[in-house]
Structure 1
Amino acid sequence: MTVSTGRPPTQRTGAADQMRATMCATRVSFTWFGTRKTLSTAQKAQAAESFGAEGDFLSAGKKLLDTKHPRFKAVTSVRNRTRAYWASLSLPYPEPGIRLVRQDTLATFQDQMSVFKEELDEAVAGLDERYAALKVAAEERLGSLYNEADYPASLAGMFDVSWDFPSVEPPSYLQQLNPELYEQECRRVQARFDEAVQMAEQAFIEELSQLVSHLTERLGGHEDGKPKIFRDTAVGNLREFFNRFRALNVRSNDQLDSLVSQCRQVVDGVQPQELRDNGGLRQQVATQLSGVQSVLDGLLVDRPRRRIIRSPK
């Protein structure tokens, strides 16, 4: 999906310049112990034989550890929360693995990432305490497929999170060495930020559309003649979106700003329990949100995903 807007190019350029001046590129990386391993050629051949198949035409693997164990799930939970936090604090950028964070939130970002790293280290230490037992359980479940060589002596150091701040600006030394190439790089970076603005709009509009559509469907729909049940998060998630939009919006799209403001006014001060108890209020909110949704639908048009063609190294 992409955003279809009629905003002036100058507005987009101004937003891109603002984004470039006030935001910082960030990258979050994880080191993660692989819990699945492909079977050896001999093992695949043995497995294929039971099906009367050829080993070369069979893809098979084994699971080294029980990832549903509470200690392993605790480790995975830290990774999921870290990713969610990073996404909530940042905007997309058209380079793989990079997102833009406001410069004035870098200290907060740094502090929270350090907290996540500590939590991950603690969770891994807890998992390592059960590592021997998990290996015994794996040996029982894998039978002859179990191979001690697949397992490190300890899980310490096998899981980690790191973050850095890669430069997305043209290298300053090019200005002296090759001014023409430097100008070319400046244009490339400007185009990247222009695209980042469009990606931010797209992400905001698609998320708002999903949230509004979900709440409208729960408020206006019926099951067995009774109003559908909805969770408090259907309203809470919208309010979280408003806060994130206010913090990250670069004012690139007046129509989007207006829609968000309109939607906020609809749910402002409305509590989930009121919507359950007051049928008239429930219908009023559903009707107003339907109007917002119809405009959002007009802003979304289908388009194949952008293809990035990289030059061969």
Structure 2
Amino acid sequence: MNITNLTSRVMLSTLNISVWRARRFDTRATQEVEAKHEAKDIGRFNKRLLTDGATSYKEVCAIGNRARSLFDSHSLDYDQLGVRLLPTTVYMEVAEKLRALRDEFDGATAHFLADYPRLKDEARVALNGLFDEADYPTEAELRKKFGIRFSVLPFPDASQFGIDLPPDVLQGIRDEMDARVMGAVKTANNDLVGRLYEAVQHFANRLYGEGNVRLDVADKLRELSTLLPKLNFSDDPALAAILTKTQDQLACYTGAQLKDDPLLRLNVAERAMEIEAQMAAFMGGPPPAMTREQSDTPMLQLLAA
């Protein structure tokens, strides 16, 4: 596929999610702790401005988490902070789901704002001497601290880049843009394969592990094997072969089948290791090691408002 075809299949996209942090650094409390322990610069005392029972606030954050997870799972790494690649094949699905989540987010925010005076009164009691009215924005100020903003821009296309410069200079800029496009494609494809690698590795480990196999053993792999082919906007044949092999040889089995047949589990686990090696070769080596806790943690990137 040539570069022009590539740039028509993907967009630059951002998702900004902002919430009130509901935390505040307390200088006085920090100084008191330092004085008590006769120490300096030993830490910072950050107050939680709402109690653990602030469920309306937690619901806003939970919806923000779901929006971030949806966006990140359906988009790919790019080389600019906060910007990701969104294949056109999934744009309509992502835009529709984010629109619904934004409506949920706005509704939950309205509920929280209505609950805010009561929650502040609860915090006044819980914080006791640490309560400070100045830590709490007014409702009008608070309303501006919540929002979900999804936006897209065209992917850079050197053939459409025409400015008033000498031809040799303009050609140099276009060549550099083309090189960046191909580098971005490589980054995106490695991101895609890296996700699958982690899932296949975890899948194989659970099949090789001792004890009973849980019925959900294949769920994550099946979910990825359905989604990731849609993100292969470059139609890379080696990548397509890996995705097809994973779907045909690993994700085709249910948890019940694998749980009830030890020989099948061993056979599928061996195939998973072969596919792992194929993916590592595609990426030029396995991805950096991740703990299971890290890979399972939702990437909530909330902007402090």
Q: Alpha-carbon deviations, 1:118-149, whole Å to 9, x = none? A: 10011112222322232122222322221111
The match for 1:290 among 273, 276, 279 is 273
| Distance in 1, Cα, partners of 2:185 & 2:222 | 22
* Residue in structure 1 matched with residue 175 of structure 2 by the alignment: 187
Are 2:206 and 2:213, in contact at CA under 8 Å, matched by a contact in 1?
Answer: yes
Shift in Å, 1:264: 1.5
* Residue in structure 1 matched with residue 164 of structure 2 by the alignment: 177
* Residue in structure 1 matched with residue 31 of structure 2 by the alignment: 45
Shift in Å, 1:89: 2.3
* Residue in structure 2 matched with residue 310 of structure 1 by the alignment: none
Give ranges in structure 2 of 5+ residues lacking alignment: 289-305
Q: Alpha-carbon deviations, 1:200-236, whole Å to 9, x = none? A: 22112221111111111111211xxxx343341x312
Give % identity.
22
TM-score (norm. length: structure 1): 0.79
Q: Does 1:211 pair with 2:199?
A: yes
Q: Does 1:59 pair with 2:59?
A: no
* Residue in structure 2 matched with residue 21 of structure 1 by the alignment: 8
| Distance in 1, Cα, partners of 2:51 & 2:88 | 41
Q: How does 1:226-265 map onto structure 2 within 5 Å?
A: 227-232=211-216, 234-251=217-234, 253-265=236-248
The match for 2:95 among 64, 89, 110 is 110
Are 1:16 and 1:197, in contact at CA under 8 Å, matched by a contact in 2?
Answer: no
Are 1:169 and 1:186, in contact at CA under 8 Å, matched by a contact in 2?
Answer: no
Classify 1:182/1:84 alpha carbon distance in 2 versus 1 (closer, same or farther; 3 Å): farther
| Distance in 2, Cα, partners of 1:62 & 1:143 | 12
Classify 1:90/1:15 alpha carbon distance in 2 versus 1 (closer, same or farther; 3 Å): farther
Is the partner of 1:162 in helix, strand or coil? strand
The match for 2:17 among 22, 27, 30 is 30
| Distance in 1, Cα, partners of 2:133 & 2:162 | 56
Give ranges in structure 1 of 5+ residues lacking alignment: 1-13, 305-313
| Distance in 2, Cα, partners of 1:72 & 1:97 | 25
* Residue in structure 2 matched with residue 200 of structure 1 by the alignment: 188
* Residue in structure 2 matched with residue 77 of structure 1 by the alignment: 62
In structure 2, give the amino acid aligned to 1:46. E
The match for 2:120 among 120, 135, 138 is 135
| Distance in 2, Cα, partners of 1:294 & 1:171 | 36
In structure 2, give the amino acid aligned to 1:245. L
The match for 1:301 among 260, 285, 301 is 285
Classify 1:43/1:280 alpha carbon distance in 2 versus 1 (closer, same or farther; 3 Å): closer
Are 2:87 and 2:231, in contact at CA under 8 Å, matched by a contact in 1?
Answer: yes
| Distance in 1, Cα, partners of 2:92 & 2:276 | 37
In structure 1, give the amino acid aligned to 2:243. V
User: What is the aligned-residue RMSD (CA, Å)?
Assistant: 2.8
Are 1:15 and 1:252, in contact at CA under 8 Å, matched by a contact in 2?
Answer: no
Query: How many residue pairs are counted as aligned between the two chains?
Result: 284
Shift in Å, 1:186: 2.8
TM-score (norm. length: structure 2): 0.81
| Distance in 1, Cα, partners of 2:262 & 2:160 | 66
Are 2:225 and 2:246, in contact at CA under 8 Å, matched by a contact in 1?
Answer: no
Shift in Å, 1:260: 2.2
* Residue in structure 2 matched with residue 157 of structure 1 by the alignment: 144
